[in-house]
Amino acid sequence: MSIEVIRIDNDALLQQAFDIRVKVFVDEQGVDQRLEYEYEDESTHFLALLGGKPIGTARWRKTDGGYKLERFAVLQAYRSSGAGAALLKAVLTDVLPTDEKVYLNAQTQVVNFYAKYGFAPVGKEFEEAGIMHYKMEFSK
């Protein structure tokens, strides 16, 4: 079975994305749930499906600094499935081409993953929601 990535276009699919984010960020990583829900209405959301089952999610939103890719989350049992790569490719396809900056804040442990797809760290490591990150920018 291959990973299918869809753009979320209704509340039921959005709730599935939220459920994945709670499992990954809140339950697994200990992020305060109050920090998890920001900018939802201004974001474009995606869902990764395997055999119709939701296994991952991501979103992008327009900011003053360009296009910010964020909230990449894949359920633990599917982290070797290619869902993360499929989500990243789908989100990039949605925002590119653009003359504006495309960037994300990557958790330190996944910097190498994003680097394989054209992102490079910018600046120093920083803490966000209790987790260490690097800002990374996409180079075309």
pLDDT digits (tens, 9 = 90+) for 31-61: 888 878 889 999 999 999 999 999 999 999 9
As given in the structure block, the two tokens for residue 81 are 């499935």
Give the tens place of pLDDT for each residue, 58-84: 999 999 999 999 999 999 999 989 999
DSSP E strands: which ranges in 23-118?
43-50, 53-63, 66-74, 102-107
Model confidence, pTM: 0.93
Q: Backbone dihedral region of 36: left (phi > 0), alpha (psi from -120 to 50 degrees) or beta? A: alpha
pLDDT value, residue 90:
97
Section 112-132 average pLDDT: 93
Please tell me the predicted confidence (pLDDT) of residue 33: 84
Mean pLDDT of the chain: 94
Per residue in 9-30, pLDDT tens?
999 999 999 999 999 999 999 8
